[in-house]
C-alpha cells in the first residue's frame, strides 16, 4: 500500500475506537447507488523501480536538439545549487505561510525576492509572484482598470509587438469584465510600435497601454517617449519585460521622465513579465512564475500575496503576509483577484539564482545573449535567402525572413539536430516566411557555426528540390 503506514492491527484498533466494523462503514452517508465502480481505465500501481524505468524511457523520447527557440521561454544556465536547495523538503513540502512564526524561511525568502525584483525593475513594490508572465499581464490589466480612476473607458492599448500568446491569455482572463483590448499595429521597418500609431488608436479616453521590452520580435521599443506621452494623456503604462534583460536595459521604473512636466510621473505604473529566465528550467513550459511590480500608490490594487517586514513581541525582525484585506479569503466577492497562491517554489529557485549570480552575473549573462545573437544573425544573414526583417535594434531574439517555406526550413534544421526558431507565419502572415531565432549565453560559437552550416545546407537542399521538381515539371510539360 503505497505511502500508507497502517498495520492491520492498528486499523482494527482505530475502527474499534470509532465504533464501526469496517472502513467501508465510514462511507455510509454516501448514497449506495451512486458509488464508484472499479476505475478500469487507470492502470494498476507500479513500484518506484518500474515507474522510474518508464519515465526514463519517456524522457528519452523528447528531442535533444540544440535550442535556438525563444518566444517566451529561454534556455539559460542554472547553477546546480539553485534547485538542490529549492527542493529541500523544508521548502518543497511546506505550504502557504499562514502560520508566520513557523514559516519564517519562506516569508523572508519572499521578502528578499520582492527586494531583488524591485531592484531589478526599479519599481517601488513587488508582490510574491503570479502564475506566469501571460496571466500576470492579464492581472496587470485588471489592476490598471481598478487603479486609473480618471478613466472610465476600460480600453487598453496592446501593440501587436506584444507576445501573441500573452495577448490571447489576457483576452481570456479579462473577457468577463467588459474590458476592451485594442490592437496597435507595428512599424514594418523597425519592428517596433511608433507613437504615431499609438495616437491613431487612442481616440478618446484610454485606461492603459501595454509596452513589451524587448518586444516579441526581440526589438527595443522607444519606451521613454511612449511612457511620457501616455502619462500626459492620463494613460497608465504597463511594462511587460524580460527580467534578465533588465540587468542591462533601462528598467521600467526609469522609463520616461524626460521632460520637465513628466518628471513626477516617471516610470511605468505597473511592470509584469515572466520570471523563467531567472533560474527556471524550460520544463516543457513550466512551472515558471509571473512577476508583478507597481508604483507605491497602486499597492492596494495589487493582486496576490505580499510579504512585509515587521517586528515580533520582543522587537525582533520578522516577516508576515500583509495587506491581506485585498485578498479573496477576506474580501470574497470584492477581492482584487481570485488568486490565492504564488509560484512559491519557482520563486525560491529564482531568488537563490539572483543571489548567486548577483547583478554582475546577470549583466554578463544578458550581454552574452546579446553578443551571441548578433553573431548568429550575422552568420545567418550572410547566407543567400536569409534576411533580417527589421532594421531596429534587437536584443537576443531576431526575426529572419527566409526565401523558402519556414516550416520546411525548420523541419530540415530539426533533422540536423537544430531547433531553429519559432515559425511566425500563423501569428504574423504579413511577414511571409519568417522565423524568430533566439540565442542565449549557452550557445557557443561552435553551436552557432553548426546552425549556420545547417541553414546553408537546408536552404540549398530546398532550392535543389524546387529546381528538380521544376525541372521534372518542365520535363513533363515538354
Residue with Cβ nearer other proteins (202 or 271): 271
d(Cα 210, Cα 179) in Å, to the nearest integer? 14
Closest distance of CB 449 from other proteins, Å:
18
For other proteins, give the closer residue by CB, 335 or 463: 335
Minimal distance in Å, beta carbon 477 to other proteins? 36
Nearer to other proteins, 166 or 202 (CB): 166
| Beta carbon of residue 197, minimum distance to other proteins (angstroms, whole number) | 19
Which residue from 301, 303, 300 is spatially nearest to 290, judged by alpha carbons? 303
| Strand-by-strand arrangement of the 397-402 sheet | 386-388, 397-402, 434-438, 422-423
Instruction: State phi, psi for 100 to the nearest 5 degrees.
Output: -55, -40
211 beta partners:
239
d(CA 284, CA 445): 26
**CB atoms < 10 A from the CB of 23, how many?**
12
Tell me, rounded to whole angstroms, the distance of Cα 457 from its chain centroid: 34
Minimum CB distance to other proteins, residue 180 (Å):
14
Which residues share a beta bridge with 16? Answer: none
Whether omega for the bond prior to residue 214 falls within 30 degrees of 0, making it cis, is: yes
Query: Alpha-carbon dihedral of residues 78, 81, 83, 85, nearest 10 degrees?
Result: -160
Q: Quick one: cell of 307?
A: 510579504
Q: Rounded distance, CA 156 to CA 471, Å?
A: 53
Min dist. Cβ of residue 250 to other proteins (A): 6
Nearer to other proteins, 98 or 429 (CB): 98
Please, which residue, 202 or 336, has the CB nearer to other proteins?
A: 336
**Smallest separation (angstroms) from other proteins to the CB of 471:** 30
Least distance (Å) between residue 111 CB and other proteins: 7
* Spatial distance between the Cα atoms of 373 and 396, rounded to a whole number of angstroms: 5
C-alpha cell belonging to residue 124: 517601488
Strands 290-294 and 434-438: unpaired
Q: Which residue, 119 or 463, is less far from other proteins as judged by CB?
A: 119
Q: What are phi and psi of 184, to 5 degrees?
A: -120, 120
Q: Smallest distance from the beta carbon of 130 to other proteins, in angstroms? A: 9
In the bound complex, what is the minimum distance in angstroms from residue 380's beta carbon to other proteins? 17
Residue closer to other proteins (CB basis): 202 or 410? 410
C-alpha cell at 334: 470584492
Nearest to other proteins of 338, 384 (CB atom):
338
Q: Which is nearer to other proteins, 202 or 424 (CB)?
A: 424
CA distance 67 to 75: 7
Amino acid at each position: 500500500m503505497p505511502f500508507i503506514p497502517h498495520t492491520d492491527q492498528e486499523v482494527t484498533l482505530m475502527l474499534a475506537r470509532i465504533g464501526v466494523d469496517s472502513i467501508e462503514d465510514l462511507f455510509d452517508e454516501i448514497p449506495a447507488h451512486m458509488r464508484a465502480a472499479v476505475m478500469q481505465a487507470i492502470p494498476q500501481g507500479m513500484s518506484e523501480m518500474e515507474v522510474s524505468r518508464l519515465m526514463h524511457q519517456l524522457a528519452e523520447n523528447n528531442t535533444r536538439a540544440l535550442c535556438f527557440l525563444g518566444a517566451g521561454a529561454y534556455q539559460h544556465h542554472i547553477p546546480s545549487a539553485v534547485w538542490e536547495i529549492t527542493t529541500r523538503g523544508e521548502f518543497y513540502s511546506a505550504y502557504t505561510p499562514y502560520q508566520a512564526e513557523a514559516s519564517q524561511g519562506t516569508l523572508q525568502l519572499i521578502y528578499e525576492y520582492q527586494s531583488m525584483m524591485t531592484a531589478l525593475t526599479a519599481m517601488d513594490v513587488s508582490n510574491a509572484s503570479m502564475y506566469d508572465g501571460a496571466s500576470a499581464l492579464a492581472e496587470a490589466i485588471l489592476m490598471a482598470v481598478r487603479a486609473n480612476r480618471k478613466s472610465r473607458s476600460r480600453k487598453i492599448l496592446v501593440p501587436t509587438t506584444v507576445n501573441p500568446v500573452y495577448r490571447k491569455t489576457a483576452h481570456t482572463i479579462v473577457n468577463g469584465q467588459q474590458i476592451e483590448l485594442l490592437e496597435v499595429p507595428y512599424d514594418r521597418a523597425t519592428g517596433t510600435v511608433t507613437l504615431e500609431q499609438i495616437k491613431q488608436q487612442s481616440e478618446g479616453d484610454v485606461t492603459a497601454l501595454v509596452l513589451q521590452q524587448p518586444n516579441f520580435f526581440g526589438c527595443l521599443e522607444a519606451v521613454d517617449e511612449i511612457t511620457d506621452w501616455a502619462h500626459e494623456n492620463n494613460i497608465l503604462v504597463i511594462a511587460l519585460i524580460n527580467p534578465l534583460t533588465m540587468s542591462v536595459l533601462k528598467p521600467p521604473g526609469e522609463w520616461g521622465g524626460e521632460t520637465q512636466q513628466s518628471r513626477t510621473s516617471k516610470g511605468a505604473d505597473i511592470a509584469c513579465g515572466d520570471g523563467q529566465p531567472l533560474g527556471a528550467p524550460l520544463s516543457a513550459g513550466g512551472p515558471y512564475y509571473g512577476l508583478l511590480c507597481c508604483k507605491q500608490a497602486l499597492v492596494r490594487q495589487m493582486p496576490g500575496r505580499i510579504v512585509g517586514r515587521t517586528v515580533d513581541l520582543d522587537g525582533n525582525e520578522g516577516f508576515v503576509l500583509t495587506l491581506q484585506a485585498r485578498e479573496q479569503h477576506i474580501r470574497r466577492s470584492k477581492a482584487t483577484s481570485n488568486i490565492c497562491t504564488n509560484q512559491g517554489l519557482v520563486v525560491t529557485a529564482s531568488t537563490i539564482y539572483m543571489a548567486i549570480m548577483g547583478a554582475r552575473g546577470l549583466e554578463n549573462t544578458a550581454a552574452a545573449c546579446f553578443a551571441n545573437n548578433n553573431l548568429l544573425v550575422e552568420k545567418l544573414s550572410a547566407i543567400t535567402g536569409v534576411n533580417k526583417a527589421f532594421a531596429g535594434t534587437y536584443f537576443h531574439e531576431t526575426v529572419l525572413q527566409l526565401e523558402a517555406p519556414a516550416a520546411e526550413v525548420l523541419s530540415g534544421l530539426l533533422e540536423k539536430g537544430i531547433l531553429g526558431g519559432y515559425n511566425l507565419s500563423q501569428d504574423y502572415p504579413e511577414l511571409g516566411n519568417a522565423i524568430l531565432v533566439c540565442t542565449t549565453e549557452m550557445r557557443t560559437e561552435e553551436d552557432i557555426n553548426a546552425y549556420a552550416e545547417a541553414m546553408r545546407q537546408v536552404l540549398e537542399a530546398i532550392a535543389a528540390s524546387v529546381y528538380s521538381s521544376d525541372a521534372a515539371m518542365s520535363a513533363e510539360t515538354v
